[in-house]
Amino acid sequence: MRSSRADAKFLVSCLVAAAAILAAAQTPQPAANVLVVTMDGMRWQEVFGGLQSELLTKEAGGISEEAAATATRRFGAASPEERRQKLMPFFWSVIAKRGQIFGDPKHSSVARVTNGLWFSYPGYNEMLTGSPDPRIDSNDKRPNPNVTVLEWLNHRPSFTGRVAAFGSWEVLPFILNASRSGLPANGDGPPIAKPESERERAINEFAAELPPYWGETRFDAPTGLGALEYFRKHHPRVLYVMLGETDEWAHGRRYDLYLDAAERNDRFIRRLWETAQSMPQYANRTALVLATDHGRGDTAEDWTDHGRKVPAAERIWMAVMGPGVLPLGLRADVTVTQSQIAATIAALVGEDYRGAQPNAAPPLDLGR
Ligand SMILES: [Zn+2]
């Protein structure tokens, strides 16, 4: 028989264990993995409002009446809510319900770039390092002097060799300083570095057969296919995919193809997410971050453009979903900056980026 003193001791240890379990239940576990996808120069106007009918003309959107009719059939609807749902169905049916979305001016939600330059390299640098850097003032292929959150994570013990990036822009390896960081960072050429399977060889063949339409940016299809194949085969804990077509079609004043690219990007993001949910290492243990490098002009004339002469390009959007992110949907009455994305990526997987990079902006407050 146990003494009453032993019983009391046993009871206390039971209570301590129960309290620990309760505390663990209340502190959400961070995600084990994080997927980051950016859509280059994707405007908040379409993210939150879908198709903008004033751009469906030859002059503003560079499209024929026939193309305008097709775009209206695919993406047209009476309300902005219906239009955005048609343009980005995964974003609005899944992320808006289970995650958080920042930057909708209608809800006093401000998301902005802080580098003051409003073009790509300074934007990606701000987003991935956590602070703007005036030295990054061109899109030239110069190795980034700064350490990105991807490089930093790759030096964390349980992430080493498990961080990778795929992009549609040949500057990506320079932004990540691939020669220093050692990160696999594919931004042009064959998407699969060492093809072994029939499918991997087919992806590289397909990529090689596409026209080099923009030169430094390739179509998003080979980028996405390469990233998905890498994801399935190598199981990175951190995967970054930099999509590029939205920016290029917009510069080319092809509003119909800009919308088409946005819809295909949304489909890719769904595919990436669903692929993650189909693998035990990722299912319910993976966070998703979506963002853009800059906004664009707000008028029928300058919606195609961004950069120093287009201050409207300061306004952006971003979205996050995954373990520890409360399902608050469209965030209202809040101001966030592009520089917060770096620490957010780290925080989602339980890492403190600011501890190492005190200049970095704090992670987004996601109600964790
Ligand atoms: Zn651009």
> Per-residue pLDDT tens for 39-98?
999 999 999 999 999 999 999 999 999 999 999 999 999 999 999 999 999 999 999 999
What integer pLDDT is reported at residue 6 of this predicted model? Answer: 58
| Ligand 1 centroid, distance to 167 Cα (angstroms) | 15
pLDDT tens, 317-343?
999 999 999 999 999 999 999 999 999
pLDDT at 181 over 60: yes
| DSSP per-residue string spanning 99-133 | SEEE--GGGTEEEE--SSS-SHHHHHHHHHHSS--
Distance 199 CA to ligand 1 centre (A): 32
- Residue 121 Cα to ligand 1 midpoint, Å, equals 10
Average pLDDT over residues 209-229: 97
Residue 171 CA to ligand 1 centre (angstroms): 13
Distance 306 CA to ligand 1 centre (A): 7
Q: Determine contact, residues 48/103, Cβ cutoff 8 Å.
A: yes
CA 296 to ligand 1 center in whole angstroms: 8
pLDDT band at 143 (very low <50, low <70, confident <90, very high): very high
Query: pLDDT exceeding 90 applies to what percent of the chain?
Result: 92
CA 8/CA 279 separation, integer angstroms: 46
CA of 293 to the centre of ligand 1 (A): 9
Residue 7: per-residue pLDDT: 64
What pLDDT score was predicted for residue 252?
98
Taking alpha carbons only, the member of 365, 272, 289 closest to residue 31 is 289
Give 18's pLDDT tier (boundaries 50, 70, 90): low
Q: How far is the CA of 292 from the centre of ligand 1 (A)?
A: 11
Decide which of 217 and 12 is more confident.
217
Amino acid making up residue 224? G
Pairing of strands 163-167, 238-243: parallel
Residues 103-107 have a mean pLDDT of 97
pLDDT of residue 262: 98
Mean pLDDT of the chain: 94
What is the reported pTM? 0.93
